[in-house]
């Protein structure tokens, strides 16, 4: 029996555990990436481990999230990250060099390698044939120190692509179709592997768009084969030497299979307020719009930008619409400037933003009150745009550009014949915004530069045998990390200051929560299904930790957030019977006894509601390693104890 592509790469990297479905395995990590919103904390954690120099083949620190410098905080974080990178063997991509996933695809990604990044859209690297996984900052720090990264051996879903996309139908429409079929929780515990003749019709940037938004499925990662298309892309980046051919065996066996005829797809949109709320453009109709934002790690490649420029050429943005465009990297921006496409965009009335995450992470360009905004981004969670009642639709660059001209949601197939868009045979290569680390002989002389906003990693303590406290908050299904720990220009600068950022924890749901949790001293949170979906930000675990949260009880968890809770020493319980969710209310006093023994032995754990007298069985399924992490009080304590 043959192997899938996923299995081939995982098998060649496994260092711990059994190669069997559902078991926990530790894999060797070849590359890591961080960005500045999560990076400061990741590097504080790396420093705490006492490892002098990273042990990966390549680690890169990117500045792309917190680039709005309205105070000293972001600039201080950038300076800190740059100094840590120089001292500890990490390449440093300076502000303005581009979005981490776009730059990594261009300059560092290698087929067949493993990559983890402290950003949930790290699976973008799967477009090159990498096993690229989003993770919490502490997991990335451990990997930089030479430790394995642990995942549950995943189910593998084969997506068989046939046919070819029709003119003006985009890669974005492929992943929106998959989200429509699988939902935002349909990929949990799975890797999405793309196969079939249709793969050959997709460029590397198009493949990367699809793998990027695989994060919205809740999937561990997504991956395409490495073929001649991959080789041509790497050759154009002058990195042909790293290419290897990679594909699944013909007799590989998959856990699930989805068939998609690319020629049958049509332009679509994810409607407010979830990436899986999919409708076709024709189904929605000519809806008046207020704003269009083109960019993000999903759709900011040179190929995307060339299509946008073609649509805008000789036109003017509708007077009722604000159009902003953010090319994904300095390389893309520079090539647009040289070939005249940038001038076309400017002449049409587009507002050109820097090569950064920008509006996607709530860093500027918030729409007007109740405004309808079309975005080529990956998430449209309530309030993420910076405007709580903003109506955010996720669309392809083709839909976005056509609509910006018309002033209403527009099917780009009305534009007439589509020319053939080709990537250049050679990209302009200029890595002068990537700072190489100091040599080992010089690293001791590098000074770490810390600003006053940078605070230490929160203190953790070993697991208590009895937890007796109140439920400080009860929330519903599909709570995102944006609910738990909001993004945006006001809060993101506090990412390196857990005490300060904790004051904003869950304020989207309940403005009184931070004060109430702090006053209680310790407490328990109750949630619904798919709790913690979205970003990899470990702050959504570290802020509750700072506020004294000991246990989170839900119907189900999103993968990365559950791992982050364990890493922080917070117990992730799930209801054995989902209906028991109704047996706990905010303010109820809950008690769990004999916890150490219960965690060691596994099995159900009884949560007694002292307020109502109810006995509620909960599950806390943990690997042997995760049990040790919880008992130690978190991954940092566990790592220190185990050298």
610-631 pLDDT, tens digit each: 999 999 999 999 999 999 999 9
505 and 634, same domain (yes or no): yes
410 and 500, same domain (yes or no): no
535 annotated active-site: yes
Q: What is the mean pLDDT of residues 249-255?
A: 97
Domain around 483:
467-641
**511-522: string of b/e by CB count within 10 Å (b at 16+)?**
eebbebbbebeb
Kind of pairing between the strands at 190-195 and 58-62:
unpaired
Measured CA angle at 639 (ends 543, 18), to 5 deg: 105
517 and 403, same domain (yes or no): no
Inter-axis angle of helices 330-339 and 341-348, to 10 degrees?
Answer: 80
282 annotated active-site: no
pLDDT band at 535 (very low <50, low <70, confident <90, very high): confident
Catalytic residue among 300, 535, 556, 563: 535
Whether the predicted pLDDT of 536 surpasses 80: yes
Tokens of 440: 């080992």
119 annotated active-site: yes
Flag whether 129 is in a domain: no
64 annotated active-site: yes
Flag whether 144 is in a domain: no
pLDDT at 603: 86
Catalytic residue among 30, 36, 77, 119: 119
Would you call 164 exposed, middle or buried from its count of C-beta atoms within 10 A (0-12, 13-18, 19+)?
Answer: middle
pLDDT at 643: 65
Q: Which of 415, 433, 453 is a domain's end point?
A: 415
Catalytic residue among 379, 546, 561, 625: 379
pLDDT at 310: 98
Between CA 557 and CA 534 the distance in angstroms is: 11
Catalytic residue among 537, 559, 561, 625: 537
pLDDT band at 19 (very low <50, low <70, confident <90, very high): confident
604 annotated active-site: no
Longest dimension (CA), the chain: 72
628 and 489, same domain (yes or no): yes
495 and 624, same domain (yes or no): yes
Flag whether 590 is in a domain: yes
279 and 349, same domain (yes or no): yes
The enclosing domain of 374 has a CATH number of: 3.30.499.10
The enclosing domain of 534 has a CATH number of: 3.20.19.10
Kind of pairing between the strands at 131-134 and 114-117:
parallel
- Count structural domains, the chain: 2
Catalytic residue among 64, 173, 290, 411: 64
Between CA 578 and CA 597 the distance in angstroms is: 24
User: To which residue do tokens 């995760």 refer?
Assistant: 626
101-121 pLDDT, tens digit each: 999 999 999 999 999 999 999
Q: Which of 348, 383, 415 is a domain's end point?
A: 415
256-292 pLDDT, tens digit each: 999 999 999 999 999 999 999 999 999 999 999 999 9
Would you call 48 exposed, middle or buried from its count of C-beta atoms within 10 A (0-12, 13-18, 19+)?
Answer: middle
Tokens of 366: 């918030």
Catalytic residue among 13, 65, 384, 562: 65
Flag whether 496 is in a domain: yes
495 and 633, same domain (yes or no): yes
364 and 498, same domain (yes or no): no
pLDDT at 459: 81
409 and 474, same domain (yes or no): no
555 and 622, same domain (yes or no): yes
Sign of the four-CA dihedral 484, 487, 489, 493:
positive
Cβ atoms within 10 Å, residue 232: 16
Q: What is the pTM of this model?
A: 0.95
401 and 492, same domain (yes or no): no
The secondary structure of residue 24, as a DSSP letter, is E
Cβ atoms within 10 Å, residue 530: 22
pLDDT at 402: 98
Between CA 86 and CA 64 the distance in angstroms is: 18
Distances 307 to 302, 341, 423, 514 between C-alpha atoms, Å: 9, 10, 11, 46
379 annotated active-site: yes
506 and 625, same domain (yes or no): yes
Distances 464 to 542, 570, 626 between C-alpha atoms, Å: 18, 11, 16
Flag whether 500 is in a domain: yes
121-134 pLDDT, tens digit each: 999 999 999 999 99
Sheet strand arrangement including 278-280: 278-280, 268-270, 391-394, 372-375, 291-294, 322-325, 351-352
465-474 pLDDT, tens digit each: 999 999 999 9
Tokens of 624: 């042997």
Flag whether 498 is in a domain: yes
Flag whether 351 is in a domain: yes
Flag whether 115 is in a domain: no
Q: Which of 385, 415, 445 is a domain's end point?
A: 415
């Amino acid at each position: 029996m043959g192997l899938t592509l996923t299995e081939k790469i995982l098998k060649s990297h496994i260092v711990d555990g059994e190669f069997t479905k559902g078991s926990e395995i530790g894999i060797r990590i070849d590359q890591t990436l961080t960005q500045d919103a999560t990076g400061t904390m990741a590097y504080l954690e790396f420093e705490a481990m006492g490892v002098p120099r990273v042990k990966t083949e390549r680690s890169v620190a990117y500045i792309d999230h917190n680039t709005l410098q309205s105070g000293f905080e972001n600039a201080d974080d950038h300076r800190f990250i740059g100094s840590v990178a120089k001292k500890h063997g990490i390449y440093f991509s300076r502000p303005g060099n581009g979005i981490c996933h776009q730059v990594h695809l261009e300059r560092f990604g290698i087929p067949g390698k493993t990559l983890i990044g402290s950003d949930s859209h790290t699976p973008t690297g799967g477009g090159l044939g990498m096993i690229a996984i989003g993770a919490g900052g502490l997991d990335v720090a451990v990997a930089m120190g030479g430790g394995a990264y642990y995942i549950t051996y995943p189910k593998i879903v084969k997506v068989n692509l046939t046919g070819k996309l029709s003119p003006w139908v985009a890669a974005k429409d492929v992943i929106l179709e998959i989200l429509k079929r699988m939902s935002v929780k349909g990929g949990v515990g799975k890797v999405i592997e793309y196969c079939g003749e249709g793969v050959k019709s997709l460029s590397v940037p198009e493949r990367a768009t699809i793998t990027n938004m695989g994060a919205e499925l809740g999937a561990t990662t997504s991956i395409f084969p490495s073929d001649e298309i991959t080789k041509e892309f790497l050759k154009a980046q002058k990195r042909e030497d790293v290419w290897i051919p990679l594909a699944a065996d013909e007799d590989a066996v998959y856990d699930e299979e989805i068939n998609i005829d690319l020629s049958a797809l049509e332009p679509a949109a994810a409607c407010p307020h979830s990436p899986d709320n999919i409708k076709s453009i024709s189904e929605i109709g000519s809806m008046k719009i207020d704003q269009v934002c083109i960019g993000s790690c999903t759709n900011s490649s040179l190929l995307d930008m060339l299509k946008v420029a073609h649509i805008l050429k000789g036109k003017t943005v509708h007077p009722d619409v604000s159009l902003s465009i953010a090319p994904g990297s300095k390389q893309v921006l520079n090539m647009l400037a040289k070939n005249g496409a940038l001038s076309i965009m400017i002449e049409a009335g587009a507002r050109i933003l820097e090569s950064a995450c920008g509006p996607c992470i709530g860093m500027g360009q918030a729409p007007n009150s109740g405004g309808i905004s079309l975005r080529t981004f990956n998430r449209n969670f309530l309030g993420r745009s910076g405007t709580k009642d903003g109506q955010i639709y996720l669309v392809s660059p083709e839909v976005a550009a056509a609509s910006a001209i018309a002033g209403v949601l527009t099917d780009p197939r009305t534009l007439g014949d589509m020319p053939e868009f080709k990537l250049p045979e050679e990209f302009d290569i200029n890595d002068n915004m990537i700072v190489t680390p100091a040599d080992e002989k010089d690293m001791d002389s590098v000074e770490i530069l810390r600003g006053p906003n940078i605070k230490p990693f929160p203190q953790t303590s070993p697991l208590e045998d009895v937890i007796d406290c109140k439920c400080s908050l009860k929330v519903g299904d599909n709570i995102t990390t944006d609910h738990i720990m909001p993004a945006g220009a006001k809060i993101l600068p506090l990412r390196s200051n857990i005490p300060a950022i904790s004051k904003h924890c869950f304020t989207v749901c309940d403005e009184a929560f931070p004060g109430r949790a702090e006053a209680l001293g310790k407490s328990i949170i109750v949630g619904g299904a798919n709790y913690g979906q979205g970003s990899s930000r470990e702050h959504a675990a570290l802020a509750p930790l700072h506020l004294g949260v000991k246990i989170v009880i839900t119907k189900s968890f999103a993968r990365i957030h559950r791992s982050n809770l364990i890493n922080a020493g917070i117990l992730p319980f799930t209801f054995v019977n989902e209906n028991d969710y109704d047996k706990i209310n905010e303010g109820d006093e809950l008690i769990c006894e004999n916890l150490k023994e219960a965690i060691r032995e596994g099995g159900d754990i009884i949560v007694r509601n002292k307020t109502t007298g109810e006995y509620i069985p909960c599950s806390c399924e943990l690997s042997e390693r995760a049990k040790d992490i919880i008992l130690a009080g978190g991954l940092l304590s566990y790592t220190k104890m185990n050298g």
